[in-house]
Amino acid sequence: MKGFTAAFLIWTLIFLNGGGGQAWPTHTACKDGSLEVLYQSCDPLQDFGFSIEQCSKQLKSNLNIRFGIILRENIRQLYLDITLFTKEEPIFSYSYPVCEEDLPKFSFCGRRKGEQIYYAGPANNPGFEIPQGEYQVLLKLYNENYSTVACANATVICS
């Protein structure tokens, strides 16, 4: 009897977990003395890899990043939306065109669905100092049809 109950419990646990869809693991994009950036993919279909070369409170302009992903959409046009949250309230949001028909800024622009991309190079970001605190950042990469290319929930901890 006990065995049955245990088996039943385990079975339901496995099944419910499998059916419910698990979250992707949280990765560390960079970690240094004063700054830590963690991220988790919020695209239910896949995870991706990302790292920042230098990690400091005084964020340098044009940081070098590394990025690896499988494209699930063509990226002839690619846009990045960044939303900053504190206590789950959006306080700042910004949209940036990465690839456009008349200005493909990066060499990976125009790559096609199914391609695996590895990018190691400058991020073309402005430099600024991050004030102390913990921030939630939602990053979304999407194409002209609003189809998700990548999605990340990031946590920035600045001490």
Name the DSSP class of 34. S
Contacts with 47 (C-beta within 8 Å, 6 or more apart), sequence order: 24, 25, 41
Query: In terms of CB distance, is 35 or 41 closer to another protein?
Result: 41
The minimum distance between CB 36 and another protein, in angstroms, equals: 26
| Residue 45 binds to another protein (criterion: CB under 8 A) | yes
| Residue 72 binds to another protein (criterion: CB under 8 A) | yes
SS3 content of the chain, % helix, strand, coil (to 5): 10, 50, 40
* CB-CB neighbours of 99 under 10 Å: 21
| Residue 135 binds to another protein (criterion: CB under 8 A) | no
Question: Among 53, 54, 105, 127, which residue interacts with another protein (rule: CB under 8 A)?
Answer: 105
| Residue 116 binds to another protein (criterion: CB under 8 A) | yes
Question: Among 36, 110, 136, 139, which residue interacts with another protein (rule: CB under 8 A)?
Answer: 110
Query: In terms of CB distance, is 4 or 146 closer to another protein?
Result: 4
- Per the document, the length of the chain is 159
Segment interacting with another protein, rule: CB under 8 A, options 84-92, 118-126, 127-135, 140-148: 118-126
- Is 61 strand, coil or helix? coil
* CB-CB neighbours of 52 under 10 Å: 20
What is the rounded CA–CA span in Å between residue 149 and residue 126?
23
Question: Among 24, 85, 119, 135, which residue interacts with another protein (rule: CB under 8 A)?
Answer: 119
| Residue 103 binds to another protein (criterion: CB under 8 A) | yes
| Helices and strands per DSSP (H, E), number in the chain | 1, 12
Q: Which residues of the shown chain bind another protein in the complex (CB under 8 A)?
A: 1, 4-5, 8, 11-12, 15, 19, 45, 70, 72, 102-107, 109-116, 119, 121-122, 124
